Amino acid sequence: MMVAEIFIKPENDAIIPFSSKVGKSLLLLDIKNVSISPLKYKGKYLIKYESDSTFLEVIGGNIYSFEVGGDERSVITALLSLEDERLLFNTLWKVVDVETHEVEVSSIPKNFEVDVLTPALIVSPYVKEKRKVFTNKSEYVFFNNVIDATGLSRGDAKLNEVTSSLAQLLWEEPSIMGYAKVRYDNKLVVGMVGKLRYSVKGEDEILIKVLEDAIVRGIGSSRRNGFGVVRIKGVEVSWSR
């Protein structure tokens, strides 16, 4: 698994929409199996919440970044389609640097925490519908990661088996959970935020792959639109360049 952090600079001050659209617009190929984060500045993702009264603005000359995550082949393919500069949202954006990191989970502790950095859109593993759920149950939180790790599709009996097996490996501990409302494409989107804590009752190869995928691509649906970016604390991870 691989994460690429792409550093970009706007030429002028500009008002922007939900900021993951900047990264998506700089990548010419529509790579479906990668995640694309919102813009980040000084370690903080730029998101316009419903409660924010101001516009989302970038400052000319400042260096921002966004991340593209997925399997190595998909990330490299995405990077090959990256434009060096492009006029977007009334300013010229220039790519100034790209850093790539291969991600590998080397060990899993008895406890870990999932820090949800951008609102996550969690879906049900049992019923396919547009409504999102708000829970720290592991089979919900990591359902999209199970699909990524196994290549199985919804409705496959084997997928249900793997999802059930994952739920037996992870025990939900007291967590901090809330929700946040953001504007995306002029729609109000409600996502889950917080710090989700788990204890590990067992370990297998699938759990390692699921956690690697969550680290690289985030959790939930709509990860190509910047939702569900997470930091997993407590899991030992190798970040090699």
Q: What is the CATH number of the domain that holds 64?
A: 3.30.70.1890
Q: Does residue 28 sit in the same domain as residue 93?
A: yes
Of 81, 103, 125, which residue is a domain's last? 103
Q: Does residue 178 sit in the same domain as residue 92?
A: no
The span from the CA of 133 to the CA of 155, in Å, is 19
- CB count in 10 Å sphere of residue 98: 14
Q: Does residue 156 sit in the same domain as residue 89?
A: no
Mean pLDDT for back-to-back runs of 10 residues, the chain (241 residues): 96 87 86 91 89 83 96 93 90 95 90 96 90 94 95 86 90 94 86 96 87 96 94 84 69
The DSSP secondary structure of 180-241, one letter per residue, reads EEEEETTEEEEEEEEEEEEEES---HHHHHHHHHHHHH-SSB-GGGT---EEEESSEEEEE-
Q: Does residue 77 sit in the same domain as residue 116?
A: no
Domain span including residue 229: 106-240
| Number of domains observed in the structure of the chain | 2
Q: Does residue 17 sit in the same domain as residue 83?
A: yes
**pTM of full prediction above 0.75:** yes
CATH code for the domain of 171 = 3.30.70.1900
Q: Does residue 138 sit in the same domain as residue 183?
A: yes
Maximal CA-CA distance, the chain: 53
Q: Does residue 27 sit in the same domain as residue 121?
A: no
Q: Does residue 68 sit in the same domain as residue 175?
A: no
Of 48, 68, 103, which residue is a domain's last? 103
Contact at 8 Å (CB) between 198 and 111?
Answer: yes
Q: Does residue 132 sit in the same domain as residue 96?
A: no
For position 53, what pLDDT does the model report?
A: 67
3-state secondary structure of 155: coil
What are φ and ψ of residue 190, in 5° steps? -110, 125
For position 98, what pLDDT does the model report?
A: 95
Q: Does residue 99 sit in the same domain as residue 32?
A: yes
**Single-letter amino acid, residue 131:** R
Of 35, 69, 103, which residue is a domain's last? 103
Q: Does residue 20 sit in the same domain as residue 134?
A: no
For position 200, what pLDDT does the model report?
A: 93
The span from the CA of 208 to the CA of 202, in Å, is 11
For position 106, what pLDDT does the model report?
A: 87
Q: Does residue 113 sit in the same domain as residue 211?
A: yes
Contact at 8 Å (CB) between 165 and 146?
Answer: no
